[in-house]
Chain A
Amino acid sequence: MINSEKNRLKDKAFQYFGLGCTILGLLVLAVFLGDIIMKGIGRIDWDFLTSFPSMRAKKAGILSAWVGTLWMLGLTAFISIPIGIGAGIYFEEYAKKSRLANLLEINLANLAGVPSIIYGLLGLEIFVRSMGMGTSLLAGACTLALLILPIIIVSTREALRAVPNSIRQASYGMGANTWQTIWHQVLPASMGGILTGIILSLSRAIGETAPLIVTGALAYVAFVPSGPMDQYTVMPMQIFNWISRPQQDFQVNAAAGIIILLCITFLLNGIAVFLRNRWQKKVKW
């Protein structure tokens, strides 16, 4: 066999291997989605979205859970976004090659790899007990904010790094200082990437259960939280609670809950894609 023919064969084989991998992944997702949707779609109606949980599966709803999840997301975003972007800017634009920056960077990389349950324990000690927030939304949101901060910081840095240095040089050339350069040139140019990172990390926060169990998310809540100091439940907790019930009707409820949770996640991801495309169109070099 000639060498080039051999190479072509290898190339083809790898192509099919890659295709197989892709199809396998999609197939598993499709089977999972199909199963859940078949089980749960019939259960979703207005009452399901506007009722509190109940011992009677047919009457039970997900109101306190989805409102809790939205509260949680809002608070988490409010806390983590300014801190995350600020830290990212510091690393990328100000702190170049100092010892402190090196130390911080190593810590950041480590933080990104810490399992979420550990953040839960940290949150329990610091926010719930020491700072006296109790088992409130705020304590949970602070914990989740810590959890996703490393992701936001890393994606912010990536986005800032993608801005060509010539832009900065040009800005300096016009007499702008570092802050003016960042605010008027670098940030607008990298906003698409930063936003994508934020929304993807929030999509992760939405499905987290472990740290919230530890910091006190409850299983049965028959009121809608009205402020950050209120107690709460979130959708993954409610779904888990239903899944572990013996009665078949609760399994259907769980499937319906999963569909709603997936919808919220898809919606968030959709917004991420939309925003990225918009920002990318705006920025022209």
Chain B
Amino acid sequence: MKKLILSALALTTLFACGGGSTNDATSANDSTATSLSGSIQIDGSSTVFPISEAVAEEFRAVQPDVKVPTGQSGTGGGFKKFIRSEIDICDASRPIKKGEAHECDSLNIKYVELEVAKDGLAIVVSKENTWLKDITVAELKMLWESAAQGKITKWNQVRKTWPNEPIKLFGAGTASGTFDYFTEAINGKQGDCRGDYTASEDDNVLVQGVSTDKNALAFFGLAYYEASKDKLNLVAVDNGAGAILPTTETVMNGTYAPLARPLFIYVNGNAAKRAEVVTFTNFYLDKASALAQEVGYIALTPEKITEQKTKFEAFLKELK
């Protein structure tokens, strides 16, 4: 009996969502009116985790009987579980890799990629640093590429006008999606990076390190800069069109290139046959903008969100 009711619920929700983007509001209302149960497994990127946690928390207020346990094993770890179908939704701070996508295909796992927010990687120096205000992408590459190891050690080697002082670098550790993203965007190849810098998976350690050394430079998520503004100076990045500081606007419209990155969730196709997963995903897209901002990321434009919702609906239709 219970199963019957559940599948009926699933059907109605599916129909409600499949009805086209015009009745988004009604479908959202419908799904919050019916009370669902079950459990939705989320894991993946620790960068996306705060958003998923926030959405899960808000969702609990609407659907108290749906459990949403959320993990943060990293984007790579998340996809491993995603491929084994151990989780329903995978948080990712980079698009799925070819190898991962191939494994999904070979196991006949259908999935949809939905963008939920944007994150900017900030280049920062200490408040005491008076001379480093902007930097070009080429100079960043010169600083960070693997060829620089042991050779580029003084700031005036990078730009003549900078002082003859030792370079100290701080950055994300090799296991994080942030490292993958930064090395690909700056050095042109994922994982290509000098080894003689201070690496930590804990961004607060990086904040601490760079803020106390006037010859240091670091990169980490914009949210960590926002939280320690009083100790750090933001460095503008020049990608050929003038030096640009990461702000809500420049990250969202893409002018803060190449260090603005999209954050994703991946929804498993089999899971998306369950009513609670569909409702949750729609809820996620509805709330993502407001909640992303609250936890320190940059919200997508309403148009972009609508685009993601349409994409999700199309995916659901395709499943049937």
Contact = CB atoms under 8 A, between A and B. Distances in A.
A216 B71 contact: yes
Interface residues of B, number: 33
A54 B60 CA distance: 11
Interface in A111-141: 135
A53 B43 CA distance: 16
Interface in B221-244: 221, 223-224, 226-228
B70 A246 contact: no
A220 B40 CA distance: 12
A55 B294 contact: yes
Candidate in A54, A135, A222, A223 with the most chain B CB atoms within 10 angstroms: A222
B159 to A, nearest CB: 30
Contact of A220 (B53, B73, B203, B227): B53
Interface stretch (A7-15, A155-163, A237-245): A237-245
B257 interface: no
B206 to A, nearest CB: 11
A222 B224 contact: no
A244 to B, nearest CB: 5
Contacts of B67: 222-223, 231
B202 A243 contact: yes
B202 A244 contact: yes
A220 B59 CA distance: 13
B129 to A, nearest CB: 21
B50 interface: yes
Nearest to B207: A246
Interface string A209-235: 000010011111111000000010000
Interface in B272-298: 291, 294-296
B142 interface: no
Nearest to A55: B54
A182 B256 CA distance: 75
B53 A55 contact: yes
A246 B73 contact: no
A248 interface: yes
A231 B69 contact: yes
A241 B52 CA distance: 13
Nearest to B222: A246
Contacts of A55: 50, 53-54, 57, 291, 294-295
Contacts of A222: 56-57, 60, 67-68
A247 B50 CA distance: 12
A97 to B, nearest CB: 47
A78 B84 CA distance: 31
B247 interface: no
Q: For chain A, give the interface size range.
A: 20 to 34
A52 B46 CA distance: 19
B57 A246 contact: no
Nearest to A53: B53
B146 interface: no
B250 interface: no
A78 B204 CA distance: 39
Given A244-B46, A246-B226, A247-B227, A220 B204 contact: no
Contacts of B82: none
A220 B70 CA distance: 5
B219 interface: no
B72 interface: yes
B170 interface: no
Interface in B104-128: none
B49 interface: yes
Interface string B45-80: 010011011101100100000011111110000000
Interface in B190-212: 201-204, 207
A220 B52 contact: yes
A222 B70 CA distance: 9
Nearest to A64: B69
B109 to A, nearest CB: 18
B57 A54 contact: yes
A220 B49 contact: yes
A114 B49 CA distance: 31
Indicate the member of A53, A241, A245 with the most B CB atoms within 10 Å: A245
A218 B224 CA distance: 23
Given A219-B72, A220-B52, 8 more contacts: A54-B57, A55-B50, A55-B294, A213-B73, A219-B53, A220-B57, A220-B68, A231-B69
30 contacts: A52-B57, A55-B50, A55-B53, A55-B57, A55-B291, A219-B70, A219-B71, A220-B49, A220-B53, A220-B68, A220-B71, A222-B56, A222-B57, A222-B68, A223-B67, A223-B69, A231-B67, A231-B69, A241-B49, A241-B72, A243-B202, A245-B50, A246-B223, A246-B224, A246-B226, A246-B227, A246-B228, A246-B296, A247-B227, A247-B296
Interface of B: 43, 46, 49-50, 52-54, 56-57, 60, 67-73, 86, 201-204, 207, 221, 223-224, 226-228, 291, 294-296
